[in-house]
A = this chain, B = another copy of it.
């Protein structure tokens, strides 16, 4: 079933201990869409400038991703420049140019209206809420956010959280959003804000999911679940790991007839799998050229890494 993702499509300049790229295709929607495209049809809503050409378009279309919702306007695309020289776990932002993204107002093409799954990538919660309202009949909606919105746009963010099936954020963001440094207590507080499930990403330590009472799975509440991340000898570029996790996670769910606890758990593993591929090369290089066998082999590796027998 088709997932509609709304978020940034951007150009990034990245330096890491493994090297640098002055200009590579990035943005949360891009990473998400590529990762999800190995599981299910994907449709993208975003905005780009005149610097987004045939080569960039082809990155999406080669993976069968529907780009009719990517609006082309005059000006330059969103540009982000970051460095991981000091800390591979946290980007140091060197430069952000919003450019055409500054006046982004998501428009939903008619052809996208029957999308059954919606992913609200990390953008202004006012826009997230707007898209959510327009797509009120989707089967499931997941979202992401970041410290900037948590700190300075809390009220707007609260209105998004009320209508989310699952929120996917990282460890530090979860603790900031809840105002509690204990993961379990933070999860309880966030679930009380609205999301039926919470997926907290721990970088090299994987991800943990928490569930509200009577979430997704009918009668009974579910216990937490922790999926591992793959220990890697070299993380070439951490950019987009979280969005790739979200793409693998939600893409797998959308590919399944029904959301069960077992499907949710496997989705957590596929999230980790796609995140582990993303960081092996710069930008979306690795995500552009996977095949399903590589994905299944790595899924098996995740199982071997974490299972008793």
Residue A223 is within 8 A (CB to CB) of chain B in the complex: yes
Closest residue on chain B to residue A227 by CB atoms: B306
Chain A residues numbered 180-209 whose CB sits less than 8 Å from any CB in chain B: 181-185, 187-188, 202, 204-206, 208
Interface class of chain A by DSSP: mixed
Name the one of B182, B228, B309 contacting A226, with C-beta atoms under 8 angstroms. Answer: B228
Flag whether A292 is at the interface (Cβ < 8 A): no
Most-contacted residue by chain B among A88, A225, A269 (CB, 10 A):
A225
Whether A182 contacts B308 by the Cβ 8 Å rule is: no
Sorting the interface of chain A by its residue count into under 10, 10 to 19, 20 to 34 or 35 or more gives 35 or more
Does A305 count as interface, using CB distance less than 8 angstroms? yes
Q: How far does the Cβ of A225 sit from chain B's closest Cβ, in whole Å? A: 6
Q: Which residues of B contact A206 (CB under 8 A)?
A: 205, 226
Determine if A262 and B308 form an interchain contact, defined as CB atoms under 8 angstroms apart.
Answer: yes
Excluding A183-B204, A224-B231, 8 further A-B contacts by CB distance (< 8 Å) are A226-B231, A226-B306, A228-B306, A262-B308, A262-B309, A266-B308, A269-B308, A307-B308
Q: In the assembly, how many copies of this chain are there?
A: 2
Separation of A204 and B305 alpha carbons in the complex (Å): 18
Instruction: Tell me the bound Cα distance from A223 to B183 in angstroms.
Output: 29
A304 CB within 8 Å of chain B? yes
A306 vs B205: C-alpha distance when bound (angstroms) = 13
The answer to whether the Cβ of A281 comes within 8 Å of any Cβ in the partner chain is: no
- Interface positions, chain A 228-270, Cβ under 8 Å from B, are 228, 231-235, 262, 265-266, 269
Measured between C-beta atoms, what is the minimum distance from A199 to chain B in Å? 13
> In chain B, what residue has the closest Cβ to A202?
B205
Q: Once the chains are docked, how many angstroms separate the CA of A293 from the CA of B188?
A: 28
Note all chain B residues with C-beta closer than 8 A to A159.
none
Of A187, A223, A228, A303, the most chain B CB neighbours within 10 A belong to: A228
| Measured CA separation A232–B233 after assembly (Å) | 30
